[in-house]
Structure 1
Amino acid sequence: MSRYFLRNILVFSNTTTSNTHFVTRTMSSIPTPSHRQFQLRVDPLTGNSEWVVIEEQESQVDMFTEPLLATTSYLDMLNDSPRNRAYCDAINKTVTKPCHVLDIGAGTGLLSMMAARAMSSSNDATCSTSKGMVTACESYLPMVKLMRKVLRANGMERKVRIINKRSDEVEVGVDIASRADVLVSEILDSEFLGEGLIPTLQHAHDKLLVDNPETVPYHATTYGQLVECKHFWRLHDLVNTEANVSDGIHLVPTGFEKSLYVKPHQLAMHCDALKEEMELLSEPFKIFEFDFSKRPDSYGEAELHVKATKDGTIHAVVSWWVLQLDREGSIFYSTAPKWISCPSDMNGSLVPGAREWCDHWKQCVWFTPEKGLRVCTDEAVQLRAIHTDTSISYDFGTQSCLKEVGYQQCAARIQKSQIALPPERMAIYGDNSWRCSFIKVLSNALRKKISSICVVADDSIFLTVAIAHLSDTSNVLSFLPGLREQGARYLEDVSVANGYSMDRVAVLNKQSQLTLHDTHERLVDLFIGEPFYYGGDNMLPWHNLRFWSERTKFNSILSEDVLIMPCKGILRACAMSLPDLWRSRRSLKEIVGFDHSVVNATLGACGDLPASEESPFLPFTIWQCGDVKRLSEVFTVMEFDFMKPIHPCSGTAKFTVSGICHGFVLWIDWVLDAENSVVIPTGPDQRYWKQGVKLLSVPVEVEKQGSGADKCCLTIISTSFDPISGEMELKHIFS
């Protein structure tokens, strides 16, 4: 999750400590009595939302801070020791005398405190003199509140002045007395530009900084490498993956190849997890260089000629960046994958790569068009790189749309008439086994119905098209709660290719109760979903039980022999060794000499917490979580019977564990038919779904001293599901 969007623009976040999801926006265009922020609370089981005002009062800030910030990447970032040490060393080298230091996007105030300490340790004066000051600019009110606690805990509240504004709202002579001599900042995402680095630097150089300021970081270089990897191909090329299936359903028929597409932007991913499946087809190459001490350009191009090192098919460009934090070029930080043992800086010297797993910065993947680009050894590949204010894109000479109108204009034009799906959903829709599972159950059900009323409760365009394709007498009512008008236009576009008429398909553009008036006084025969809710990519698995909530809401218009698909959900779990993930989420004590223990509960830490506090459930794609290992068999915790209205559920499971257990991983397998013969698994072995992770406060080590289950640790976990909040609770006992 982007920390810049949390601070300055917009954030979507799911919480595990209350029944809401949150979106936060500073409504600067609305006249308000103070710097007011609005928090959008969204119920995961209904999709209903409401705006709530957040103001400076203690009670209101505390009420929203903890659940919102627990699922951000702040904790992971603060646990990144190489990053912290690099910034500390660079700030100590740069801030050597009293001066004005500006920290943009200050977060918990760590960089501000580093600067204040460096200034205080200089021989000339202390930070309290009129010549020396540190200004921390942070727009997000809950984070400002947390920063104040950190500053107080470290005796720094009088050495760092906080401004609760966006940096482009700060004015010299109004908010700060003078322009700053030094800029320290960390507003970088995995792509490098996605957190608004360029517009932030432009405004800072124009309005807030002296001429030729010192900056930390000082310089950055982005790198890339051409790779072959079929996993990348499956994530975006539905046209060709669908050509390999035989169900007769055409989600991307001829002439409508762009009807479903992945947004043309880089995908952040832990590429190390795919190293064994990759062929590296080039040496690493430089793409762009950025100088923080100068005003950056909003647009840039680089014409690259990259030599292929072996025969293969280019499926993607994998990219990363290297920071030079000091002017002299002795302090670096790299987001390179582990197979790049010594990335080079812009002068050709060797830079040690960051070796610890972290989740706040990953590598990025840019997909090549369609099936990829075939190359031969020593062939020169022409690659055009383009950067805008907030993104980097690539053109291999086949993306004429990008050449003609530019990256952002092209993306905006496509957005008006087509549907942009997450890469994982594109891969699922192209998976023959997944499609066959649904087609099998639907075909059996429709054979028993001469004329049926079918309701698609979620955003599944596949199921809507499938029913209309399989039965020429069924009427399909789709809610498409996230896709709405776009979904309706799409269904009309592909109707001819799939052999159905739109007079049998309707998208219900309303959130209210479905009535018999909508079904022409007929009861519903099929009530189905995948489940899939557009925009819910970072939801916990059980938040998809929104399908169960919807089914309950429409209970009065379901026929007695209605087919519910899926008919059941099975909550499964296993104990796992997750050392990298646990380390990245562990509670904080000192960070380069600064006490951060006051942030642990707010940021959802694990380890060294009071007995009454636990780390929250977090959504993760387990196969990308670094070093992972199963320590138990997969076991069933509880079942959700969708044939009945939604109700509280609980379950208990006993199992044995052997090894160092860092937590439990939970997911839901979706049972499609009453015979339990067709199941859609979503566990850690499945790459296209996120699982829910419950990290332990302290890892539990169980040494296996012999053979047999009696030499392992018997473990009991109990879970309960609240149908009002949509949240899950888990308790465990190691005996």
Structure 2
Amino acid sequence: MWWELNMDMEGKICLSCAPWWTHPDADLSSDRPQDKIPWRDHWMQGVYYLPQEMTVQKDSEVSLVSCQDEYSLWFYLEDEKTKYRHYSRPICECGVHMAISRTHVSYLNDGKRSKRFLAQIKEDLVKDATVLDFNGSSFLGMAAAKMGAKTVYILENMKLNINILNDYIKENALENVIVLSELTDEVLEKVTNVVCDPNFSSAILPWENLKVAYLLHKYKSKLKDSVTIVPESCEFWAMPVEFKDLHKIRIPLGTCEGIDMTMFDSLVESSRLISDAEIEAQPLWEYPCKCRGEPRKLVELQMKDLKVTYASDGVHPIVDSESQASNPVNGFVIWAVWMVGGKSISAGPVEWPNVGERVSWDMHTRQAVKILKKTKIVSNSDKWNYQVACDLENGHF
């Protein structure tokens, strides 16, 4: 659902929030019509989920039932075979959709990623395994119980998450799964396998998922040396990019339609410095950008010995030395790559980025973004600097 504003009586000027595939300004015959329409990210479409899927055929007749109350709209789809007696408002009864974000729900439904984790857990499980799961907002621990682990402990202290876990445990008749809010020495000494889906429901920025490393550091003295850990390690990467539109949320307006907006820009900037972080999380699959420099590894952390390896000296050329081209850069992106079974699972680009080409981003995670105040034209003489801190003792990254 979307809306349109007719700005003149003749209807010649229309501000539309329609999706690109039905937008009045879109040229559907072009290569990427979604890149040609005006950017109106602050005017988004409304998406409504039907209570039940229905398969419809061409020329078949269905009825869309629209309902509303003081707060919301909801819809039902009916045909000759499907009729509803009550059009009740959809309310989450399982608790999952209140406890975790939609992005996290989509992450849990990413079957390709889940299979990688599950395959490694199955390979690592020993006879009479005792599994410790550090992330109560995932299902890896319960999956390990289904695979044959003798006992599974799930560390979780949020009451809502605990209730959800207990419901899943009951529904799946898992008598060997125990949810704990605190770990005792007695439990830790039994553990043979540590598993942790590195996407905590409480995490916003990518490095906040290093909570797994913090917990390992906290409890490592009580764990056996032979314990296996999934994931094995984590890397953080960064690269300069040119955003097509996302940078517009930060850059000054300057002169807009002949109007000097300098005073407004100053007001916004002074407020931004007080309230906004310099690096923010964004789902970049929604925001087109081009790679404008080779991705660089910033830091690597091994989960087994918690060894931190800092890459390079914190200074990188923006443009590869072999290239003589000048490139526009208006931001930097940072993302995590997790190693499972010796293979990488990216929470950033789904394919290795090529300089000058559009980047395809993982749809189920968010990346860290640093937006520059203005676009810079860079060449092979320009460099970018960074600082990385990793304090496992206090969990600061």
Match of 1:637 in 2: 298
Deviations along 1:312-350, whole A, 9 cap, x unmatched? xxxxxxx2123468999998643222444449xxxxxxx
Partner of 1:451: 128
Taking the TM superposition and a 5 Å limit, the aligned residue runs for 1:521-532 are: 522-532=189-199
Give the alignment of 1:22-33 within 5 angstroms.
Answer: none
Aligned pair 1:486/2:158, yes or no? no
Distance in 2 (alpha carbons) for counterparts of 1:328 and 1:541: 49
Superposition map of 1:100-249 within 5 A: none
What is the aligned partner in structure 1 of residue 48 from structure 2?
Answer: 366
CA gap of 1:528–1:432, structure 2 versus 1, over 3 A, is: same
Distance 1:549 1:372, change over 3 A: farther
User: 2:316 matched to which residue of 1?
Assistant: 654
- 2: distance between equivalents of 1:725 and 1:324? 55
| CA distance, structure 1, for counterparts of residue 16 and residue 202 of structure 2 | 31
Residue 72 of structure 1 is matched in structure 2 by: none
Match of 1:617 in 2: 279
Is contact 1:620–1:693 with CA below 8 Å preserved after alignment?
Answer: yes
**Amino acid in structure 1 at the alignment position of 2:171:** D
Instruction: Tell me by how many angstroms 1:507 deviates.
Output: 0.8
Displacement of 1:355: 4.7
Gap change, CA 1:579 and 1:329, over 3 Å in 2? closer
- Once the two structures are superposed, residues 194-245 of structure 1 have per-residue CA deviations (whole angstroms, 9 ceiling, x without a partner) of xxxxxxxxxxxxxxxxxxxxxxxxxxxxxxxxxxxxxxxxxxxxxxxxxxxx
Q: Secondary structure at the match of 1:404?
A: coil
Question: 2:372 matched to 1:717?
Answer: no
Q: What's the counterpart of residue 554 of structure 1?
A: 219
Is the 2:300–2:309 contact (alpha carbons within 8 Å) kept by the matching residues of 1? no
Q: Which amino acid aligns with 1:437?
A: R
| Structure 2 unaligned residues grouped into runs of 5+ | 26-35, 320-325, 350-360
Structure 1 gap ranges (5+): 1-318, 344-353, 496-500, 606-612, 704-711, 729-735
- Cross-structure match for 1:411: 91
Match of residue 441, structure 1, among 120, 125, 144: 120
Partners of 1:365 and 1:385 lie apart in 2 by 14
Letter in 1 for 2:163: E
Q: Distance in 2 between matches of 1:417 and 1:601?
A: 38
SS in 2 for 1:469: helix
Aligned to 1:506, which of 156, 175, 178? 178
Question: Residue by residue, what CA displacement relative to the aligned partner does 1:654-682 show, whole Å, maximum 9, x if unpaired?
Answer: 35435211111110011124xxx222111
Could you tell me whether the CA contact under 8 Å between 1:321 and 1:335 is conserved in 2?
yes
> Hey, what does 1:477 align to over in structure 2?
153
Residues 358, 580 of structure 1: 8 Å contact kept: no
- Bigger-Rg structure (1/2): 1
Shift of 1:400: 8.3
CA distance in structure 2 between the partners assigned to 1:355 and 1:417 by the alignment: 36
Compared CA separation, residues 581 and 725, structure 1 to 2 (3 A): farther
In 2: Cα distance, 1:362 partner to 1:598 partner:
26
Shift of the alpha carbon at 1:621? Answer: 1.4
Structure 2: which amino acid aligns with 1:671? M
What is the distance in 1 between the residues matched to 2:190 and 2:156?
20
1:338-365 CA distances to partner (integer Å, 9 max, x unpaired)? 444449xxxxxxxxxx953243222232
CA distance in 2, matches of 1:634, 1:372: 44
SS at match of 1:559: coil
- Once superposed, what is the RMSD of the aligned Cα atoms? 3.7
Correspondence for 1:664 among 307, 332, 338: 332
Q: Which SS does the other structure have where 1:530 is aligned?
A: coil
User: Aligned in 2, Cα 1:402/1:388: closer, same or farther, shift over 3 Å?
Assistant: farther
Q: CA deviation at 1:469?
A: 1.3
Partner secondary structure for residue 689 of structure 1: coil
Once residues 438 and 686 of structure 1 are traced to their aligned partners in structure 2, the CA distance between those partners, rounded to angstroms, is 17
Aligned-partner residue type, residue 192 of structure 2: D
490 and 326 in structure 1: CA distance in 2 versus 1, 3 angstrom threshold: farther
Q: 1:384 aligns with which of 47, 61, 65?
A: 65
Distance change (3 Å), C-alpha of 1:646 and 1:357: farther
Closer, same or farther in 2 for the Cα pair 1:489/1:571, shift >3 Å? same
Q: Which residue of 2 aligns with 1:584?
A: 249
Residues in 2 aligned to 1:600 and 1:557: alpha-carbon distance in whole angstroms? 49
Percent identical pairs in the alignment equals: 22
Secondary structure, counterpart of 1:366 in structure 2? coil
Counterpart Cα distance in 2 of 1:695 and 1:388: 40
Checking the alignment, whether the CA contact within 8 Å between 2:331 and 2:371 is kept in structure 1 is yes
CA distance in 1, matches of 2:253, 2:214: 38
- 1:98-145: per-residue Cα shift (whole Å, max 9, x none)? xxxxxxxxxxxxxxxxxxxxxxxxxxxxxxxxxxxxxxxxxxxxxxxx
Partner letter of residue 515 of structure 1? Answer: T
1:693 aligns with 2:369: yes
Give the 3 Å change call, closer, same or farther, for CA 570–370 of structure 1 in structure 2.
farther
The letter for the 2-side match of 1:540 is L
Secondary structure of the structure 1 residue equivalent to 2:207: helix
Change (3 A) 1:671 1:659: same
C-alpha change, 1:666 and 1:403, in structure 2 (3 Å) is farther
Deviations for 1:246-291, whole angstroms, at most 9, x for unmatched residues?
xxxxxxxxxxxxxxxxxxxxxxxxxxxxxxxxxxxxxxxxxxxxxx
Distance 1:695 1:361, change over 3 A: same
Query: After alignment, is 331-340 or 616-625 more displaced?
Result: 331-340
1:72-83 equivalence runs, <5 A? none
Equivalent residue number for residue 354 of structure 2: none
Q: Deviations over 1:22-47 (max 9, x none)?
A: xxxxxxxxxxxxxxxxxxxxxxxxxx
Name the CA distance, whole Å, in 2 between partners of 1:372 and 1:531. 35
AA of the residue aligned to 1:616: E
> Could you tell me how far 1:437 is from its partner in structure 2?
1.1
Relative to structure 1, is the Cα distance of residues 341 and 481 closer, same or farther in structure 2, using a 3 angstrom cutoff?
Answer: same
**680 and 632 in structure 1: CA distance in 2 versus 1, 3 angstrom threshold:** same
Question: Displacement of 1:506 after TM fit?
Answer: 0.4
Q: In structure 2, give the amino acid aligned to 1:585.
A: R
Q: How does 1:291-310 map to 2 (within 5 A)?
A: none
- Shift of the 563–387 alpha-carbon distance from structure 1 to 2, 3 Å rule, reads same
Change (3 A) 1:403 1:421: farther
CA, structure 1 residues 428+598, in 2 after alignment: closer, same or farther (shift >3 Å)?
Answer: closer
- Answer yes or no: is the 8 Å Cα contact 1:636–1:653 preserved in 2: no
Read off the aligned partner of 1:374 and give its amino acid letter.
Answer: V
Contact 2:238-2:297 at 8 Å conserved across structures: yes
In structure 2, the CA distance between the partners of 1:461 and 1:342, relative to structure 1 (3 Å rule), is closer
Quickly say closer, same or farther: Cα 1:471–1:384, change in 2 above 3 A.
Answer: same
**Aligned residue number for residue 462 of structure 1:** 139
Q: 1:554 to 1:698 in 2, by over 3 A?
A: same
Q: Secondary structure at the match of 2:144?
A: helix
- In structure 1, what is the Cα distance between the partners aligned to 2:202 and 2:88? 26
Give 1:478 deviation, angstroms.
0.6
Residue type matched to 1:630 in 2?
C
Q: In the alignment, is the contact (CA less than 8 A) between 1:459 and 1:532 conserved in 2? A: no
1:686 CA displacement? 1.4
Q: Is the 8 A contact 2:251 2:372 kept in 1?
A: no
Cα 1:325–1:603 change in 2 (3 A) is: farther
With normalisation by structure 2, the TM-score equals 0.77
Q: What residue number does 1:375 align with?
A: 57
